[in-house]
Amino acid sequence: MLVGEQGTAKSTAVEMLKNLVDPTSPLHRNLPPDEREASVAAANTWVMSYDNISRMTAEQSDTLCKLSTRAGFSYRKLHSDDEESTFDGGRPQILNGITPTSNASDFNSRAIIVRLAPIPSDRRRPKQDIEAAFRVEVPFILGALLDAASTAIRRRPGLTLPELPRMADFALLGEASAPALGWEEGAFLHAYSRSLAGGDAASFESDIVGREVLAWLKADHPQGFTGTSTQILEALNARLGPDKIRAFGKSWPQMASIMGGRLDRAGPAMRARGWHMEVRHSGTRTRSFTPIGSAETDDAL
């Protein structure tokens, strides 16, 4: 996911990345509106690229997540009652936009977020000159990528790491490729962890529920809190007041069931900020929030 302000050559960078391994037409596609359209596009291209994305729906975000880590889609063939078309596989995807294009933590945890710097006017070049220079370099760049891939395949089976982030297999693959790319041991994992942290921060900044729950816990329950989704929603509504809730609009949950789902999504980001959330089932479904390090917690859900 390439992000940056205007004038950072995001579109040109995407074109180069895709053309290295999949110079198919069309170069860019529109974001698929649903799983059916995504599976049709994925069946006809190896690298899916989306240019100048400003927003995406929750369904689009979930679909791209599935495609990134392998998914199976099935749907009825047109003009047929009992015939089915299927797609089973994964596809790398490249997106660019001025800001990160999804607020969903599961999407950002699957992404490598690269922020491009503005290009000074005295360093700008005509696109045809860049393309000509790129064509000269393509064999060497592709050769370096193939060296990295073969090194990763050779080293991956025996490689272990002391800690693994989400997308552990990808982290191991990246770290296994390091010698072919001139990276020191641990350099890839460090850079990848920073990228994940940046995605987590972007998700949490846009998550109204996560932010307000964290502020409420720190202010009113610094030692921890246990209660139902209904109790949490009522406490937050009382704390915020009707004017602020009205200002949040549809982003603020109106029902306890929706609040519960939003809390589940916010759980990983809150844990990264020092609060453990545990879901308990003892006749009544409750959520227990505990400051990490202040008490024993168990991982039973």
pLDDT in tens, the chain (301 residues): 898 888 888 989 999 999 898 988 888 888 888 888 888 888 888 998 988 888 888 788 888 888 888 777 776 666 566 667 777 788 899 998 877 666 677 787 888 888 899 999 899 899 899 999 999 999 999 999 999 999 999 999 989 888 888 888 889 999 999 999 999 988 998 888 888 877 777 777 778 898 999 999 999 999 999 999 999 999 999 999 999 999 988 889 999 989 988 888 888 888 888 999 998 887 788 999 999 875 444 443 3
**E strand intervals along 90-153:** 93-97, 114-115
Q: Are 301 and 276 in contact, with CB atoms under 8 Å apart? A: no
Helix, strand, coil shares, percent, the chain, to 5 = 50, 15, 35
b/e code 174-183 from CB counts within 10 Å (16+ = b):
bbbbbebeeb
CATH topology for 2-124?
Answer: Rossmann fold (3.40.50)
pLDDT at 301: 31
3-class DSSP assignment, residue 127: helix
Q: Are 165 and 196 in contact, with CB atoms under 8 Å apart? A: yes
Domain ranges of the chain: 2-124, 208-291
3-class DSSP assignment, residue 163: coil
| Rg for the chain, CA atoms, rounded | 23
208-291: CATH number: 1.10.10
3-class DSSP assignment, residue 297: coil
Beta bridge partners of 276: 290
pLDDT at 299: 40
Angle at 172 between CA 169 and CA 173, to 5 degrees: 85
pLDDT at 295: 44
